[in-house]
Structure 1
Amino acid sequence: MSKNPTFAPQLWIPNGVTNVDFYINAFAAVELRRFSNEDGSIHVSELSIEGAIFHLHEETHNSASFSPARYQGTTVTIGIFVPDVDAVMASAIAAGAELLSPAQDYDYGYRQGEVKDPFGHIWMVDAVI
């Protein structure tokens, strides 16, 4: 374990989801472990993108946290820095993401674009230029 602080987002997905291949196909994520419910739906899936850990949790009726679909949106954008923004954006779109903002260069030194994953989470794909 790293001695330095790291962020590990907890993303909520709709109840009953059994397939999270989007993250594997879009971002080359690796599923490190999964705990499933009796019906095969995901209780928690721990994924890594090049060592950056995040978790997917299933929304339940008793949950204080919820997937973006419950309120037609999200309050958080997940930023991911990658070597090739265009390649990752293309991969995400091919895997089922919705293009929100095409990749472009900005005066503040980033190339970035935005996509929405199939569960409603917004991803800002960045690279320093």
Structure 2
Amino acid sequence: MESLTPTFAPELYIPNGVRDVDFYINGLGAVELRRFSNDDGTIHVSELSINGAIFHLHEETRNRASYSPLRHQGSTVTIGLFVKDVDAYVESAVAAGAKVVSPAQDYDYGYRQGEVVDPFGHVWMFESRI
């Protein structure tokens, strides 16, 4: 059996009826690798990558127990993304429509971190070692 290195590929739920996920492209520098659309042109699944880190956006219909954070005005997960320039990612995300949860700052445990919430309610923490 071939050994496979585990890789996280989170699936983020978005509301049904979404057509535009440009926030991730413009705000986070993601590249859309593939898209599966519904008959009406709305997104069923969008597969994106940020510097090789793959994640999926999926409409809520797939799993009755999985919801877009907007449905409950909150999220149970923070997506940590290690980057070279935390401040640049926070600024870019905000310019594309994110809201700052926690401004970029240095912490005594050796990380610089900044947290934003994206237009679909997902919380992103940009971080780097200092």
Superposition TM-score tier, normalisation by shorter sequence: over 0.9
- Structure 1 match to 2:20: 19
* Aligned-pair CA distance for 1:60: 2.4
* Aligned-pair CA distance for 1:72: 1.1
Q: Which runs of 5+ in 1 are unaligned?
A: none
- Matched residues in 2 for 1:27 and 1:61: separation? 25
Is 1:105 the equivalent of 2:114?
no
What does 1:1-129 align with in structure 2 at a 5 Å threshold?
A: 3-60=4-61, 63-129=64-130
Bigger drift between 53-62 and 22-31 goes to: 53-62
Tell me the percent identity: 74
Pairwise CA RMSD: 1.4
> Any idea what the Cα deviations from partners look like across 1:48-93, whole Å, max 9, x if unmatched?
0000000000012963211001111110000000000000100000
> TM-score by structure 2 length?
0.95
Q: How many residues align?
A: 128
> TM-score by structure 1 length?
0.95
